[in-house]
Chains A and B, each alone.
Chain A
């Protein structure tokens, strides 16, 4: 059996779950076995129609102590639940949640663990995975003989569409005690409403050349015109113009939007590491020799403060036509 550990965002299913399901389906076909999904939480309310046709069985593993996620409690609950079940592989999203849960499962279940996988295949009982090394400068292929917990890179896999599964939702009480939860959450602070940039289709990202925080509103305007979200380089985040949660790159998020617009970003290797999965890249830079221009499909050269307004104007005009 292939198991997917799903991620919840309040009462909705995070998009990363559907990507993990897609990856799980590759393994379930390749290893000729079934596909089950498990969510962990308390009083889980999900829309059945979103999920019923995507897996054989959908388990809701519930306990009061799982009301707030901690790796120890989640690990203990899932490990006990799976201990007497057949599990060839467990797939999780390589989100903060999945990356944290993966080793907490792999150790007690005595499975291998591979993080941030960008491609998967399985045949003759062997799982083949690819993952980026060194900020994506090299791609490694690994073959895996045993059972493994695998986290999959955001947007490296498509979202699983409905198939002819007749899924069944089964609620299970997790067996947990206070000693399984040594870590207690005291306070949670949400950062002003920004959606997770790894889920965005279109990103407009700004770098040091944006000069100050106020100018980021220009990026917001362009993002709004394109129906996207704002992101930033580390230089912009370090300068305090943008929150760390929207930093793209090796120490920030790895993004794979349909379109990435890099505004006044030079394209340092650590930044490029985060955007290799983007389908299209447009760079706006005054320097045609900036490394970002080689990593872009289209490089607009000149002053961002002239080019962005011109672009916004043309997009609005095109939309009206």
Chain B
């Protein structure tokens, strides 16, 4: 099986994110990590390869710093890492990324493509669906279980509103990984050593003959959310606090 995994690089979800002096970018000196959902995607790819043999290729598109997340995926056990690197890829438009990635994927053999359910930076969750549409292959989003059959079909269990659904589709297909799909492995020491020797392949969008075009979509401002929470702290006896809370529920929330 040829398996392709798309990985995104995001600021650690626990990190403090601040706007830089120019007002249109965030300060870059935050800890950056592999998008957590993509770890499930890498893990699943490795499990498919362990079962059927084949090759796991990682793809990442971005303007800078992607080496670290690609190396992490290699250390987990992936065979190859491709980095589509270009300054024009700094914006956070999943559709533009999907076009770039699809151009690369079209040059490669593949049976399974895995993405994360969504990037935890933009919470978009668009790229997988867009990539599948561009490649004209089936897309099964938010999967929690995946079974691949040698005759190139797949059964996947996915989250739907208020429950789960099991679907079947032929390969090649694209799946987006949800939490619960698996427990991502930690890179082993030998994996880390091996990944140091594995070279990342660089590609420019120009060499693919595409110009990522996000001109229609322009960031005009970044701001902090405004919070008007009062943070009143109640202390003491439970029933006295409960009486205070009732006042709040009646006078402000107005639900009693």
Q: What residues of chain B lie closer than 8 Å to A269, measured between beta carbons?
A: 13-14
A48 to chain B, nearest CB (A): 24
Which among B122, B140, B166, B241 is the interface contact of A115 at CB below 8 angstroms?
A: B122
* Mask of A284-310 contacts with B, CB within 8 angstroms, 1/0: 000010000111111111110011011
> Is there an interface contact between A145 and B216, defined as CB atoms closer than 8 Å?
yes
User: Total number of A-B contacts with CB less than 8 angstroms?
Assistant: 266
A189 to B169, CA, bound (A): 19
Q: What residues of chain A lie closer than 8 Å to B215, measured between beta carbons?
A: 145
Q: Is B92 an interface residue (CB 8 A)?
A: yes
A65 to chain B, nearest CB (A): 14
Main secondary structure of the interface of B (DSSP, over half): mixed
A128 to B221, CA, bound (A): 11
B115 to chain A, nearest CB (A): 11
Q: What residues of chain B lie closer than 8 Å to A251, measured between beta carbons?
A: 36-37, 120, 179
Q: Is A190 an interface residue (CB 8 A)?
A: yes
> In the complex, what residue of chain B is closest to A184 when comparing beta carbons?
B168
> Is there an interface contact between A189 and B163, defined as CB atoms closer than 8 Å?
yes
Q: Is A30 an interface residue (CB 8 A)?
A: no
Q: Is B90 an interface residue (CB 8 A)?
A: no
A263 to B128, CA, bound (A): 36
Q: What residues of chain A lie closer than 8 Å to B155, measured between beta carbons?
A: 186
> In the complex, what residue of chain B is closest to A244 when comparing beta carbons?
B180
B166-204 interface with A by 8 A CB criterion? 166-170, 173, 179-180
Q: What residues of chain A lie closer than 8 Å to B66, measured between beta carbons?
A: none
Q: What residues of chain A lie closer than 8 Å to B238, measured between beta carbons?
A: 302-303, 306-307, 309-310
> Is there an interface contact between B253 and A280, defined as CB atoms closer than 8 Å?
yes
B75-109 interface with A by 8 A CB criterion? 92-95, 98
> Is there an interface contact between B216 and A146, defined as CB atoms closer than 8 Å?
yes
> Is there an interface contact between B242 and A311, defined as CB atoms closer than 8 Å?
yes
- How many of chain A's residues touch chain B, expressed as a range? 35 or more
Provided the pairs A141-B223, A297-B229 are in contact, do residues A183 and B161 lie with their beta carbons within 8 angstroms? no
Provided the pairs A115-B122, A245-B162 are in contact, do residues A297 and B231 lie with their beta carbons within 8 angstroms? yes
Interface size on B, residues (CB 8 A): 85
Main secondary structure of the interface of A (DSSP, over half): mixed
Q: What residues of chain A lie closer than 8 Å to B244, measured between beta carbons?
A: 298
A149 to chain B, nearest CB (A): 9
> In the complex, what residue of chain B is closest to A14 when comparing beta carbons?
B161
Q: What residues of chain B lie closer than 8 Å to A319, measured between beta carbons?
A: 256
> In the complex, what residue of chain A is closest to B138 when comparing beta carbons?
A182
A120 to chain B, nearest CB (A): 14
> Is there an interface contact between A190 and B162, defined as CB atoms closer than 8 Å?
yes
B185 to chain A, nearest CB (A): 18
> Is there an interface contact between B222 and A297, defined as CB atoms closer than 8 Å?
no
Given contacts A132-B225, A250-B13, A299-B234, 16 further A-B contacts (CB under 8 A): A106-B126, A106-B130, A107-B133, A132-B123, A134-B11, A138-B26, A139-B225, A143-B217, A191-B163, A195-B162, A273-B13, A276-B227, A282-B248, A297-B248, A298-B230, A298-B244
